[in-house]
Amino acid sequence: MPSPPLRLAIVGAGAAGLVASHELRREGHTPVVFERAVAVGGTWLYMPPAMSFDPRAVGATVTHYSSLYASLRTNLPREAMGFLDFPFAAGAAFPGHEEALRYLEAFARQFDLLRLVRFQTEVVRVRRWSDGRWAVTSRKLGEKGSSVGKEKFYDAIVVCNGHYTEPRIAAILANYLYDFPFLGDDSTITVDDNRVDPLYKHVFPPEVAAQLSFIGLPLKAIPFPLVELQSKWVAGVLSGWIKLPSKDEMMEDVKAFYSKLQACGWPKRYTHNLSKCQFEYDDWLAEQCGHPPIEEWRKQMFTINLKNKTARPESFRDEWDDYHLVAEENEDFNKFL
């Protein structure tokens, strides 16, 4: 039997939070998205340094810290970068950051997601209640100061808070990238040497699955399609039509994964670095959800781009010749346009 509609809290309205809210609502659930910034887009919401305000600063009332620089262009070809069923097509192959933001805004408008988002609202505390629900405390941010709101209860929490805000600063002040200041011990996870532990397939802490999930942790992967597939998986699991293994089985899988990393000499801090196995991971997620695997043209485009980037770091955005893959992409995406 599918589960009854759930009331869900999503932390963050970047690419991951937007696609998670879309997939969860598509399943009939009621997501509320908490976003501390004034608008959607997360990383892609650029602010010039003078206007940018570090939300981690003591007494911060305004809300945005940008990790981009003004002239940044994407480092992935736009066609490969976009969501699976919402083409990021037609335009410069490696657009500026403004265009990536416009794409996410268009996604939010197309699927009527903006009304789900509570802007300038930061999640400060998430606690597990004895009945299995989660209590979320948020604070409203604004020019005139901040105010802490009442605890509100949710059936499940989906963490989409990104990992490009906390800086990694060499040796002197080691910070590693994952940070969940609003979670307590009852989340059952710890972050050690940039490993979020334990997580089944980088998403579910076995002990509290599926009522807590993390979307967007993997590194060295194409983020948008990956967070889309993770969102579909989480939505299917929460609805009850996708089954997770037992807690013990998930823990066994986590341990086996760690042993494999160790045997390859892969350091702990690379636990969520998908590197060469990103498409294997994507396709595993797709299979769980009954979704087709990642398109062949996207896989090839990524691989060619990686080679170009390594060979010509200064000019790979302007010298490329995989037009045949763009033609394949156009044909594939015609159904959505």
CB under 8 Å to 31, separation ≥6 — which residues?
8, 9, 10, 20, 21, 24, 25, 116, 158
Does 123 sit near ligand FAD (CB under 6 A)?
yes
Q: Which is nearer to ligand FAD, 123 or 209 (CB)?
A: 123
For ligand FAD, which is the closer residue by CB, 17 or 236?
A: 17
Residues 6+ apart with CB under 8 A from 210: 156, 204, 234, 237, 238, 244
Q: How far is the CB of 2 from ligand FAD (least distance, A)?
A: 27
Count of residues engaged in binding ligand FAD, rule: CB under 6 A: 32
Of 177 and 251, the one with the shorter C-beta distance to ligand FAD is 177
Enter the DSSP assignment of 83: B
Own/partner long-range contacts of 223-226 (Cβ < 8 Å, ≥24 apart):
223/15, 223/16, 223/81, 224/15, 224/19, 224/81, 224/82, 224/83, 224/88, 225/82, 225/83, 225/84, 225/282, 225/294, 225/298, 226/278, 226/281, 226/282, 226/285
Site string for ligand FAD, 47-86 (x = CB under 6 A): --------------------xx-----xxx----x-----
In the shown chain, the binding pattern of residues 14 to 43 toward ligand FAD, with x for contact by CB under 6 A and - for none, equals xxxx----------------xxxx----xx
**Binding to ligand FAD by residue 178, rule CB under 6 A?**
no
Nearer to ligand FAD, 182 or 200 (CB): 182
Q: Which of residues 208-267 bind ligand FAD (CB under 6 A)?
A: 216, 222-224, 227
**C-alpha to C-alpha distance for 314 and 316, rounded to whole angstroms:** 6
* ω into 198 cis (within 30 of 0): yes
Three-state SS at 136: strand
Pairwise CA distance, residues 42 & 105, whole Å: 11
What whole-number distance in Å separates Cα of residue 147 and Cα of residue 170? 35
Interface pattern 81-120 for ligand FAD (x via CB under 6 A): x---------------------------------------
Smallest gap from residue 162 Cβ to ligand FAD (A): 2
CB-wise, 74 or 211, nearer to ligand FAD? 74
Site string for ligand FAD, 136-175 (x = CB under 6 A): ------------------------xxx-x-----------
Least separation, in Å, of the C-beta of 137 and ligand FAD? 11
All residues at 6 or more sequence positions from 79 whose CB lies less than 8 Å from its CB, including other chains: 87, 88, 89, 93, 297, 298, 301, 325, 326, 329, 333
Site map for ligand FAD, 292-311, x if CB under 6 A? --------------------
Cis-peptide, bond into residue 210, ω within 30° of zero: yes
Which one of the spans 12-20, 205-213, 234-242, 299-307 is the region binding ligand FAD (CB under 6 A)?
Answer: 12-20
Going by DSSP bridges, is the β-strand pair 134-140/152-154 parallel, antiparallel, or unpaired? Answer: antiparallel
CA dist 146 and 141 (Å) reads 5
Provide, rounded to whole angstroms, the least separation between the CB of residue 158 and ligand FAD. Answer: 11
Which of 32/251 has CB closer to ligand FAD?
32
Sign of CA pseudo-dihedral 333, 279, 299, 221:
positive
- Enter the DSSP assignment of 197: E
Nearer to ligand FAD, 136 or 210 (CB): 136
Check binding of 10 to ligand FAD (CB under 6 A): no
What residue type is 318 in one-letter code?
A: D
Site for ligand FAD, rule CB under 6 A: 11-17, 34-37, 42-44, 67-68, 74-76, 81, 122-123, 160-162, 164, 182, 216, 222-224, 227
